[in-house]
Amino acid sequence: MTFQTHDARILEVKELTSREKLFTLRFVDPEVNRSFKYKPGQFVIVDIRGFGEFPISLCSTPTREGYFQLCVRRVGRMTKYMHTLKEGDIVGIRGPYGNGFPMEKMEGSTLVLVAGGLGMAPLRSVLWYALDTGKYEKIYLFYGTKAYEDILFRDEVIHLLKHGEDMNCHVKLAYEVETPSCIYLEKGYSPRVCKGVVTDLFRGETFDVENTYALICGPPVMYKYVIKELLDRKLSPGRIYMTLERRMRCGVGKCGHCIVGTSTSIKYVCKDGPVFTYWDALSTRGLI
């Protein structure tokens, strides 16, 4: 049934930061587990029975089967409850929903991933997918974070700062709050690690615009500025993908909450998105 969720067991809970936890899950029913296929950029609805439902991006990659991961920031009632859950606990899951990034279409191209804060979660799925399949020319990750303590998947990011070049993966990190750990990172990896905002990471970078796609996810204010950097570098709007957030209840185009646009173009972020191109943003007012 459309709104019934499937039991999923929490295999592992990992504290990523003081606000974010990474949950690794598997469906209890092996058949559901086998048939659960998803694309980077898609999301699921988590059902905490008796509390409610909320949408969360899949941050693992479909190339690694048998489990999936959700990175949940504690912001309110339900996510707070989610944070109290332990290994072995059960939650309900329905999905995957949304269109996801067109990974196949982008094969052979360079990917520029631009993440701000929690935007790292869905882009991690893309990053791993690209690394696992090896089907992409080059991968850039521009990641803007508030402070060292807020870097999501810190081990992975630092590992890629160190060894990413061998895999054609170039990581750049911008932080806003100066702490000893950041200064230490900056010493080691300057100019790839610097104080500033994510758009500062574009300085000095040019892309082969014929063969590059940009994928953006971050807080609402970020999009305009990042898109400007990309357009300044002559990237076509059709090569700029972004994943967006809205209040979501149903996830499947019924509840009306995620409707954006005007009389000429109405879109549901949950089913027409959450991944859109900049062309969509130009023709759908209120998208970004």
Partner 1 sequence: MRYVKLPQENFEEFFNSLKKWGKVYAPVKKGNIYSFQHVEKPSEIAFDYTRTMLPPKKFFVRPKDEMLRLKGGKWEESDGVEPIVLFGVHSCDIHGLEILDKVYLDEPVDPYYKKRRENSIIIGMSCMPDEYCFCKSLGTDFAMHGFDLFLHELPDGWLVRVGSVKGHEIAWENEELFEELTEEDMRNFREFEEKRANSFKKHLNKEGLEDMLDLAFNSPVWKKYEKICLGCGNCNMVCPTCRCYEVCDLWMNAYEAVRVRRYDSCFMESHGLVAGGHNFRPTRLDRFRHRYYCKSYFDPSAGFNCVGCGRCDEFCPAKIEHVKVLDEVREGLQ
Ligand X SMILES: Cc1cc2nc3c(=O)[nH]c(=O)nc-3n(C[C@H](O)[C@H](O)[C@H](O)COP(=O)(O)OP(=O)(O)OC[C@H]3O[C@@H](n4cnc5c(N)ncnc54)[C@H](O)[C@@H]3O)c2cc1C
Number of residues forming the site for ligand X (CB under 6 A): 22
Contact set for ligand X, span 181-210 (CB under 6 A): none
Beginning with the edge strand found earlier in the chain, give each strand of the sheet holding 43-48 in spatial order: 52-57, 43-48, 90-97, 6-15, 20-27, 68-73
Interacting residue with partner 1 among 31, 35, 37, 76 (CB under 8 A)? 76
Q: Which stretch binds partner 1 (CB under 8 A): 2-10, 136-144, 157-165, 186-194?
A: 2-10
Rounded CA-CA distance 200/104 in Å is 30
**If binding is defined by CB under 8 A, does position 35 make contact with partner 1?**
no
Q: Name which of residues 103 to 132 contact ligand X (CB under 6 A).
A: 118, 121
Check binding of 250 to partner 1 (CB under 8 A): yes
Residue nearer to ligand X on the CB measure, 81 or 189: 81
For the bound state, the minimum distance from the C-beta of residue 94 to partner 1, rounded and expressed in Å, comes to 10
CB of 45 to ligand FES, least distance (A): 9
Picked from ligand X, partner 1, ligand FES, none, the partner binding residue 50 (CB below 5 to 8 A depending on kind) is partner 1
Interatomic CA distance for residues 152 and 20, integer angstroms: 8
Distance CA 98, CA 44 (A): 9
Where in 2-41 does DSSP place strands (E)?
6-15, 20-27
Other CB atoms within 10 A of residue 196 CB = 13
Helix axes 154-163, 180-189, angle to 10 degrees: 20
234-253 residues near ligand FES, rule: CB under 6 A: 248-251, 253
CB of 244 to ligand X, least distance (A): 8
Residues whose CB is less than 8 angstroms from the CB of residue 109 and which lie 6 or more positions away in sequence, other chains included: 136, 137, 211, 212, 213
Give 3-state DSSP helix, strand, coil % of the chain, rounded to 5: 30, 30, 40
Q: Which residues, in sequence order, are CB contacts of 271 under 8 Å at separation 6+? A: 97, 98, 99, 252, 253
* Residue whose beta carbon is closest to ligand X: 76
Q: Work out how close the CB of 267 gets to partner 1 at its nearest, in angstroms, rounded to a whole number.
A: 10
Which of the listed partners (ligand X, ligand FES, partner 1, none) does 4 bind, with a CB threshold of 5 to 8 Å by partner kind? partner 1
Choosing from 19, 189, 257, 283, the residue that interacts with ligand FES (CB under 6 A) is: 257
Contact 265, 279 (CB under 8 A): no
Helix or strand or coil: residue 161?
helix
To ligand X, the closest distance from the beta carbon of 78 in angstroms equals 3
Pair of tokens at residue 200: 């500062």
- What letter would DSSP give residue 103? T
Give the residue carrying structure tokens 């979660």.
121
Shortest spacing between CB 134 and ligand X, in angstroms: 25
Which residue lies nearer to ligand X by CB, 56 or 126?
Answer: 56
Which span (68-76, 176-184, 189-197, 209-217) binds partner 1, by CB under 8 A? 68-76
Interacting residues with ligand X (CB under 6 A): 43, 52, 54-57, 71-73, 75-80, 118, 121, 245-248, 274
Residues near partner 1 (CB under 8 A) are 1-5, 49-53, 73, 75-76, 79, 90, 92, 219-220, 245-247, 249-250, 252-257, 259-264, 266, 285-286
